[in-house]
Structure 1
């Protein structure tokens, strides 16, 4: 008797096991929140000028870092890395999603090993999803006719969809091809399953791969509790607990749990991306320990160059570097984090990716634009 023959009970066991693993990881991040702090250099200087050398009120509250797989920062950074790769090599040719067919020989043979189970009545999630996808071929809304394939104003493809005088009866209704969403006939016939294939001509296609960077996880349950307000002593603003927010909204299925427990990779890439932070003068992020004296933090960070400041210094002493913009530097130079300087690249290749900033950020947004256009700047 192997565990996989336990059916839904085994899936529940897998989910419970991974939930315990993930909860332990979240707990580790929570208990270490007080060890490291992060704040702008200029804000730390303001605290020192006020005579406050304590770090109890400095820095963010409870955060979920980007190294936690599945967090919003993790997804957002991978999405930005994907955009950087596309800017360098171009967009992918196609975007393809595929749903398995429960009538495939491989699945049929697998079901034969389950005692007393018949494929036609087995409530497997693959079967349910496959039937649901097939029903989506007949959409709830009509599809407009197009004499040829074209692109709309947003860059999305509008596929060729000519009128055909062929109807079919579905759910007691006569439907023609105006109700059928675009599909690839050759792929459907060859693989005998539901396949969506789109021309990848827009960055929004990549957002689907990292959709959880734009929305939270599916919520399985809702709990109503008294709202707890944790406010900082300095500005009396509400402190957001990102770990608790992630934990409350987490939805886990059996397949994902098994995949994560066995340590399979969530994302794979063949290009290396160097993430390039940027900042206005004196507003670089500083990381320090919670028990450090702020005066010592200021003295240390004053001598510690950021990647952007080291880029300015490189341009002032290296004539070859002046022909590149900030995001092009990683292709020709390597960042040495110990020495806090850019060294000439001898082998390999990296793509530069400037950190994301919203267009409403003011001067930071304009600095982002300038760094991608101006070559060889030596100062702010």
Structure 2
């Protein structure tokens, strides 16, 4: 029960015949025969009966729900259950002997969970699932950009000079259309080719299919990939192409790009190609994935009429919210608002807002109060594990001193900023997790960012600095971050007790200085970083700022240490390498 209502919409309505709804779910016949039964002080009739089959009830001898699966829309929901993988369980191994060597990798284990029924089924090798017809995944690549594999001991020069080295499904599809008149007469699209031919990966060639019908599927390509996306678009419309240049040739003229060729063919003169993409994606993608794709199409493909796209695909974009919302008694307007807010979240990650595309009337646009509440809720709902909470009690001497220094400054009226320096393995990330967990459990806001996506993914709630603070990609030309002083993000920064920036050693000093100007503007303060407690971290012994064709001197000059802000930081150095406790010479080599 949810809010006094059954989450599965029972009791159902009486019906004289079985019908199908628009979302693919059936409405079963339920006769009004005035028969009922009393169960646990409730009077139940045909409206309360869960769909079943008498045969399976007698065979399995337990409660069993059987539903009709008769539309294509249900296939993608069934598919994810068949291929979701094994049940898994996470467990933690620990010992009372604290003098043992620390093994951060094996401290946590993730294992497969097998119950008795599944164990018996797999021991006897009973089939788990079957799929027919099989699906051929067709490779897609730009000229000369195909993926190749080879043995470690192979001679690279021999491989490059080999005639078969550059052959792929796509190049041999072109070759078959050039060499075989019979193949050209079929006038196949690339995706239809496997219905007539079979690919031999060992010989790298197509041969005529004699048995088994299969379905071809070209790998999905995101519109943000540019030329590769338009190559896929052309392959979906041009039959029996003979080469990459054939795809580029329109009305006897060779185009300079696949986008230009698609435009000349009239594929980009309307939103038809975007609709083709959404039509295909809505068939097999989950609603949350479809909303992410819809957001990318809005940002990168600039559709001429976003409102018509929204109206056409609103049902597909909203199916999960609609199913859950109606179960809770929500009205369609509320469900539509939730879907638009989810799309807006995706757009904001790419620097856009839903208001830029006029998808909702002005009176439905999100207020600053709603946006601010959403930002606060998102930050305060960042999950943290019990192990993150325990990190405070597992800090070594150097980490504990750094932790105490930073925490005392956070609650001090005279705030400073810090730089945590230390070679790889000295526990910088471990210290960051302790700081973040402490502040967040106390109900405070702590923003975690990093210079790279990989580093950001390690931090709980981490994001790249450019994404969080809207720092321009080229801060040398303009140091204005795209955040207004009245925005919800600005209010979130004001509320933050701590801003933590990992791998700051990789960032150019122009980037850090743009961040400094942003904080000064938001905080109305001339102090470094607006008087906020900012903890930078990194290792200048590793990767310096990446500058194309730059000498070492230019790289050093662009580094954070050469900024005027560097002198305002309190440097904290970690020296105890936790990954090499038993190998002192190796540990000392990091510090040399």
Larger radius of gyration: 2
Higher relative contact order (CA 8 A, sep 6+): 1
Which bracket does the TM-score occupy, shorter chain normalised? 0.3 to 0.5
- Tell me the TM-score normalized by structure 1: 0.47
Instruction: Point out the structure with the larger helix share.
Output: 2
